[in-house]
């Protein structure tokens, strides 16, 4: 398996820009600026502005005028924030070196932006930082993209060839569509380009599903007169239009960082301020009622279908069916203290250790036992999409009434439908809303909490 490090480029450029900002302040060495308040303020707002202006979203096909546009927006907002500091904390006073520091920062970052932009192009011309690509369905609409791959080495695309059900004598012909799936996996293809005029809708869906399941980028080459949906982004490779299937929210580095950061902080708070006194109390109560350990471990499926040991407080008597059958109403295996823990969801608290370890998230689709997961996959087409994210302690399906025992097929179908909606529409505020609703449900009580 190839290892890609391109996702380090944007964070690296952000760090370098912060070094430039702080380096200018240190070099000028003015007491009005050389303090923790100003440095923190200016660095924090640079990060926030760049996040909202997409300052670091520069792609291999980005044109030079787009760089000018990004610099203008970023600098305009940054300059406004820069002078706001003096308006708030210095009562509008014109401080010595005010303009010198600002122009030095903007000049240094502009210089680095263009140097890095052209340095990456030169690096790709040397055959590095490339993407392996194939085209599905060669026709008049896809010729422009193929020509671009063959003539613009600075973009960093390594074109392997095309697949089509129409036989071809061309050297680049790789075979029929049905042969493409194994070829793509065996040759480490990074991006698939599908011609919409050469493929049927069902075939496009099949390639999109295949790409999502195997973490491969899929892009669509449209007809010039074709309308496209809101789940697609228009991109121009020179003058050729390409449609990019939008990434899931979790696939962007900034969202991944936000979610993981929140998971670590929230789980630490729960472990320190709640579990530190809950564990000794439950240890006594559980031991009094039944023999066995306080903690219970069960194999569950997590990110990409990998198994992990999911922790819980033991709520049942020791039994051989705990890894095979979910608890049902009036289940004789459940102890009295276990029934209370299950009603209040206290039995789930040890999963914050799973969150801290990076195996789970605070919010996400609930992890299933492998035996049940295999069964659900046979009945539900898009079940596998749940494996695109880490499982959660709570989730949208659980706060919407779909938790506990699955009595009929519609229960698991509705649960999966809500899980996939969550994955495709995630936001930080949606996580907060689900956590608040989970806490309210604990006090209100839930019908299926047994």
Using CA atoms, how far residue 279 sits from 153, 268, 312, 351, in Å, is 60, 15, 11, 13
Instruction: Determine contact, residues 170/164, Cβ cutoff 8 Å.
Output: no
Range 31-50 average pLDDT? 90
Task: Enter the tokens of residue 362.
Answer: 């605070």
Query: Which of 402 and 185 is assigned the larger pLDDT?
Result: 185
> In terms of domains, do 437 and 306 share one?
yes
> In terms of domains, do 53 and 111 share one?
yes
Pairing of strands 361-363, 157-163: unpaired
What percentage of the chain exceeds 90 in pLDDT? Answer: 34
> In terms of domains, do 178 and 327 share one?
no
> In terms of domains, do 228 and 82 share one?
no
Range 102-119 average pLDDT? 94
> In terms of domains, do 241 and 277 share one?
no
> In terms of domains, do 384 and 272 share one?
yes
> In terms of domains, do 371 and 430 share one?
yes
**449: confidence class by pLDDT, cuts 50, 70, 90:** low
Instruction: Provide the pLDDT for residue 228.
Output: 46
Domain annotation covers residue 150: yes
Report the mean per-residue pLDDT for the chain: 83
> In terms of domains, do 231 and 357 share one?
no
- Residue ranges making up the domain that contains 259: 253-444
Task: Enter the tokens of residue 107.
Answer: 């000049």
Range 165-182 average pLDDT? 89
Range 25-53 average pLDDT? 89
Instruction: Provide the pLDDT for residue 330.
Output: 65
Pick from 63-67, 131-135, 247-251 the range whose average pLDDT is largest. 131-135
Domain annotation covers residue 343: yes
Range 173-181 average pLDDT? 91
Range 30-46 average pLDDT? 89
Using CA atoms, how far residue 92 sits from 75, 79, 89, 310, in Å, is 20, 14, 8, 57
**348: confidence class by pLDDT, cuts 50, 70, 90:** very high
Return the number of other C-beta atoms located less than 10 Å from residue 247's C-beta.
11
Range in 49-53, 85-89, 106-110, 400-404 with the lowest mean pLDDT? 400-404
User: Is the Cα dihedral 84, 88, 89, 92 positive or negative?
Assistant: positive
Nearest-5° Cα angle at 330, 329 to 336: 120
Whether residue 357 is predicted with pLDDT greater than 60 in this model: the reply is yes
> In terms of domains, do 299 and 434 share one?
yes
Range 335-362 average pLDDT? 91
Instruction: Provide the pLDDT for residue 402.
Output: 76
> For 401-415, how does the pLDDT look when each residue is reduced to its tens digit (9 = 90+)?
877 666 666 778 888
- The total number of structural domains that make up the chain: 3
Q: How far, in Å, CA of 104 to CA of 42, rounded? A: 14
pTM above 0.75, yes or no: no
Instruction: Provide the pLDDT for residue 179.
Output: 92
Range in 22-31, 186-195, 362-371 with the lowest mean pLDDT? 362-371
Query: Of 85, 109, 125, which closes a domain?
Result: 125
Query: Of 125, 142, 167, which closes a domain?
Result: 125
> In terms of domains, do 299 and 379 share one?
yes
Q: How far, in Å, CA of 439 to CA of 220, rounded? A: 43
Query: Of 102, 125, 148, which closes a domain?
Result: 125
The neighbouring-strand residues paired with 218 are: 192
Whether residue 282 is predicted with pLDDT greater than 60 in this model: the reply is yes
Instruction: Provide the pLDDT for residue 137.
Output: 87
Whether residue 29 is predicted with pLDDT greater than 80 in this model: the reply is yes
Phi and psi dihedrals of 301, rounded to 5? -95, 135
CATH number of residue 225's parent domain: 3.40.50.720
> In terms of domains, do 269 and 233 share one?
no
Instruction: Determine contact, residues 315/342, Cβ cutoff 8 Å.
Output: yes
Domain annotation covers residue 450: no
Whether residue 5 is predicted with pLDDT greater than 60 in this model: the reply is no
> In terms of domains, do 263 and 115 share one?
no
Instruction: Provide the pLDDT for residue 359.
Output: 93
């Amino acid at each position: 398996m190839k290892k890609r490090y391109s996702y380090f480029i944007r964070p690296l450029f952000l760090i370098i820009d912060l070094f430039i900002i702080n380096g200018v302040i240190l070099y000028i060495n003015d007491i009005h600026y050389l303090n923790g308040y100003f440095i923190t303020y200016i660095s924090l707002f640079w990060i926030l502005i760049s996040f909202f202006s997409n300052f670091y979203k520069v792609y291999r096909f980005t044109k030079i005028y787009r760089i000018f546009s990004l610099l203008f927006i970023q600098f305009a907002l940054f300059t406004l924030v820069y002078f706001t500091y003096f308006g708030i904390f210095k009562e509008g006073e014109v401080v010595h070196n005010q303009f010198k520091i600002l122009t030095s920062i903007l000049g240094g970052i502009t210089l680095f932006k263009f140097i890095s932009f052209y340095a990456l192009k030169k690096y790709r011309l040397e055959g590095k930082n490339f993407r392996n690509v194939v085209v599905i369905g060669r026709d008049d609409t896809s010729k422009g993209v193929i020509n671009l791959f063959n003539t613009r080495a600075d973009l960093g695309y390594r074109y392997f060839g095309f697949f089509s059900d129409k036989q071809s004598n061309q050297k680049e012909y790789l075979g029929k569509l049905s042969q493409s799936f194994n070829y793509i996996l065996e040759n480490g293809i990074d991006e698939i380009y599908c011609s919409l005029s050469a493929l049927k809708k069902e075939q496009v869906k099949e390639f999109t599903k295949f790409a999502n399941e195997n973490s491969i980028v899929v892009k669509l080459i449209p007809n010039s007169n074709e309308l496209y949906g809101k789940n697609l982004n228009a991109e121009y490779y020179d003058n050729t239009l390409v449609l990019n299937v939008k990434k899931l929210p979790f696939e962007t580095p900034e969202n991944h960082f936000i979610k993981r950061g929140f998971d670590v902080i929230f789980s630490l708070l729960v472990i320190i301020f709640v579990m530190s006194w809950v564990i000794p109390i439950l240890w006594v109560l559980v031991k009094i009622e039944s023999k066995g350990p306080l903690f219970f471990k069960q194999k569950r499926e997590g990110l990409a279908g990998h198994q992990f040991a999911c922790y819980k407080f033991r709520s049942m008597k020791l039994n051989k069916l705990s890894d095979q059958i979910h608890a049902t109403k009036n289940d004789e295996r459940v102890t009295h203290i276990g029934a209370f823990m299950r009603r209040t969801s206290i039995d789930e608290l040890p999963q914050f250790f799973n969150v801290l370890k990076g195996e789970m998230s605070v919010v996400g689709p609930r992890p299933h036992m492998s035996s049940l997961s295999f069964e659900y996959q046979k009945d539900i087409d898009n079940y596998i999409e749940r494996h695109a994210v880490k499982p959660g302690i709570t989730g949208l399906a659980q706060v919407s009434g779909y938790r506990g025992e699955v009595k009929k097929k519609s229960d698991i179908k509705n649960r999966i439908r809500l899980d996939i909606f969550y994955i495709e529409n995630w936001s930080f505020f949606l996580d907060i809303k689900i956590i608040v609703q989970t806490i309210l449900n604990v006090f209100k009580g839930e019908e299926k909490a047994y």
